[in-house]
Amino acid sequence: MDRKTKRRARVLAGFLIIMSVCTVLSRAAASVLVAQVQVEKPGRGKLSYSCGGSGTVVSVREKTIFLWADQQVEWAAETGSTVKAGDCLIQFRMEHLQRAIQNKQAELAQLEIQIQQQQISARGTARVPTAERALQNLKDAKEKLQEAQEKEAKAQEEYEQFGGSAWTGLSSGRSGTISGRSDNGAEGGQTGSFGDVSGSQPGTSGGTPGGDQPGTSGGSSGSDRPGNSDDTSGSDRPGNSDDTSGSNHPGNSDDTSGGHPGGDTPGGATDGDQPGTSDDDPGAIFPDDSSNLSSREQELKAALQQAQADVEAARQAVAQAQTDYTFAQKEDSAQSTNEANAVQSAQLGAQSLNVQADTARRALEELTAYQNAGGKICAEQECTVLMSSVQTGTFTTGAEVMVTGSGGWKLKGYADAKDKEKLKAGAEAEIRLGAGKKKTVRIESIAAERAAGSGNGAGESGSSSQSLQFCWYARLPENTAAENGNAFTWNVNSSSDQEYEQLIPLTALREDSTGAYCLILSEEKNMLGRVQTARRIPVTVLEKDAQKAAVTSTLQGTDQIIVSSEKYVEEGDRVRIKE
């Protein structure tokens, strides 16, 4: 009995020992395989912001002084020096200033002379229009044409009157002579042989001779106008009348033998047809009278032709005068346009010179003001020279500057662009000036400025030249020794304006391709008891600070959020709280 009891006791003890060992082994395996995590519950409150950087000490009021252009610097205050109110900051050389005034006065005088010249040119030039003389020439030409036409009409009238009346008178005279000598039959026959003289007016042709019968005339009555020829062979000269073989002498009527005028055969009869012809015959005077008439006709005809030529020449002169007048009008119009353009150009030139003169006058006034100031730029109030690009002896170009500071010192802190929303006027900042103690200052203003070059302090984020630099300003704490350009560090802690319902640690916030989320503990029951696993809860991030994030989600106040773990944990992994 005792043996069985002891045996049972040994078996129970062995079982207990084995169970204890298995428990220890399972615990050890669980500690190796199951991740241990730390958890926190979601909270409510405001976010806390913290930012910092560096800065420099600057003057309360800065003034940039631009130097006078084209002047020689005789003396200038050095950078860092303190200048009392009314003392000289920059002294310019007076000799050079005086020469500049004289040159500007000469320039202004020359401009005024040029203005007067342009004003005279703007008055235009006095001239007689060419069209007036051309018009007078046209009037004179028309008067000459009228006179020539009157002369032509007169010559035409005289010529026509001579052709009608002169030959009629000649025929009457011849008839009286024949009747006075009718007692001589032979002579009467000879006289009758000249009966064709009435048909021998200038430009007529006697035609066929009268044959053997005295007193007959074989020619037809000729025209009164010159240039007509009824003969078979007419002369080229006006007023000639020719037979088969015509004479070149004007006004004669010749037979076939063509003897000289007033020959042995009067009246143009053939040789031997008229008996009793001699120099003592009264009919011998008729050829002389015909020659005189022909000469008079030629004179009248020449006068008519000359009058006609004068008329044609006068017409050409009128046409030429009209052309000259038209061209003169165009030339006057072009000349007037050119003169108007020249006047306008002179007026514009005078205006341009007036602008230059005004500029020179203002420059002279400035130089005179510099001279009255003794060639000095003085400090308006006590100040410190912060920066100067002036060198003694150099000639200024107008780009040189001197920066002065007055009114004490203030702090200028530089901040990153990402921290600009965290800085507010009225917020407190902790500063440490050099190796001194920390002091608290209140931010007065925040501004964005153009930074020349890379950032400074907290602004050293690789910003390029002319990039925006965010700065804040605050007064220098009392009883703090500082100079322009001293460096300091700063730090600002602030809270958000809004209070959030759910705040979780940043370490609990996770993110993947589907969005932000966090893991919480979830307990499940199984054969071995309660098992803790990680469960995913999606969240929407509203704002963050350095430690927490404000979110909206389905989290409950009792949920335990996994904030850290010994190894990487994913949704569904078994976890246990780290003790």
- Tell me if 525 is assigned to some domain: yes
pLDDT value at position 300?
85
In the predicted model, is pLDDT for residue 216 greater than 50? no
pLDDT value at position 104?
92
pLDDT, mean of residues 550-571:
91
pLDDT value at position 383?
92
pLDDT value at position 290?
60
pLDDT value at position 57?
92
- Tell me if 514 is assigned to some domain: yes
Question: Cα Rg for the chain, rounded, in angstroms?
Answer: 70
Q: The tokens 């129970």 sit on which residue?
A: 12
* Cα pseudo-dihedral 32, 35, 36, 37, rounded to 10: 170
Q: Which residues contact 424 (CB under 8 A, 6 or more apart)?
A: 443, 446, 494
Distance in angstroms (rounded) separating the CA atoms of residues 192 and 175 = 9
Q: Which tops the pLDDT comparison, 541 or 467?
A: 541
pLDDT value at position 395?
92
Q: Which tops the pLDDT comparison, 267 or 370?
A: 370
pLDDT value at position 527?
64
pLDDT value at position 508?
93
Distance in angstroms (rounded) separating the CA atoms of residues 3 and 1 = 5
pLDDT tens string 85-114: 999 999 999 999 999 999 999 999 999 999
- Tell me if 131 is assigned to some domain: no
Q: Which residues contact 57 (CB under 8 A, 6 or more apart)?
A: 409, 410, 411, 412, 433, 476, 482, 483, 484, 485, 486, 487, 488
Q: Which tops the pLDDT comparison, 502 or 217?
A: 502
- Tell me if 164 is assigned to some domain: no
- In sequence order, the β-bridge partners of residue 508 are none
- Tell me if 143 is assigned to some domain: no
Distance in angstroms (rounded) separating the CA atoms of residues 117 and 111 = 10
Q: Can you give the residue range of the structural domain that contains 17?
A: 1-33
Is 458 within 8 Å of 471 (Cβ atoms)? no
> 45-49, 263-267, 450-454, 523-527 — which one is most confidently predicted on average?
45-49
- Tell me if 386 is assigned to some domain: no
In the predicted model, is pLDDT for residue 136 greater than 80? yes
Is 216 buried (19+), middle (13-18) or exposed (0-12) by CB count in 10 A?
middle
What distances in angstroms separate CA 266 from CA 163, 231, 239, 525, one per listed residue? 22, 18, 19, 181
CATH (domain of 516): 2.40.420.20
Same domain, 28 and 41: no
pLDDT value at position 255?
37
pLDDT tens string 487-514: 999 999 888 888 999 999 999 999 999 9
pTM > 0.85: no
Query: What is the β-pairing status of strands 35-40 and 575-577?
Result: parallel
pLDDT tens string 238-260: 333 333 333 333 333 333 333 33
In the predicted model, is pLDDT for residue 26 greater than 80? no
pLDDT, mean of residues 385-396:
89
Same domain, 536 and 547: yes
Is 151 within 8 Å of 310 (Cβ atoms)? yes
Distance in angstroms (rounded) separating the CA atoms of residues 575 and 579 = 12
| Number of domains making up the chain | 2
In the predicted model, is pLDDT for residue 211 greater than 70? no
Average pLDDT value over all residues in the chain: 76
pLDDT band, residue 264 (cuts 50/70/90): very low
Reference 395, options 66, 69, 65, 64; nearest CA is 69
Token digits of residue 529: 């008891």
- In sequence order, the β-bridge partners of residue 163 are none
pLDDT, mean of residues 426-433:
89
- Tell me if 241 is assigned to some domain: no
Distance in angstroms (rounded) separating the CA atoms of residues 204 and 243 = 11
Same domain, 29 and 40: no
pLDDT tens string 358-370: 999 999 999 999 9
> What percentage of the chain carries pLDDT values higher than 70?
73
Helices (H), 123-200: 130-161, 167-180, 185-192
| Residue 245 zone, left/alpha/beta (φ > 0; ψ -120 to 50; rest) | beta
pLDDT band, residue 354 (cuts 50/70/90): very high
pLDDT tens string 321-348: 899 989 989 988 888 888 888 888 989 9
Reference 82, options 323, 347, 370, 405; nearest CA is 405
Q: Which tops the pLDDT comparison, 417 or 143?
A: 143
> 128-132, 204-208, 226-230 — which one is most confidently predicted on average?
128-132
In 444-476, which positions are buried (b, 16+ CB within 10 angstroms) versus exposed (e)? Answer: eebeeeebeeebbbbbeeebeeebebbbbbbeb
Same domain, 39 and 28: no
- Tell me if 462 is assigned to some domain: no
Q: What SS3 string covers 422-441?
A: HCCCCCEEEEEECCCCEEEE
In the predicted model, is pLDDT for residue 456 greater than 70? no
pLDDT tens string 176-190: 443 444 344 333 333
pLDDT value at position 532?
87
Query: What is the β-pairing status of strands 515-526 and 467-475?
Result: unpaired
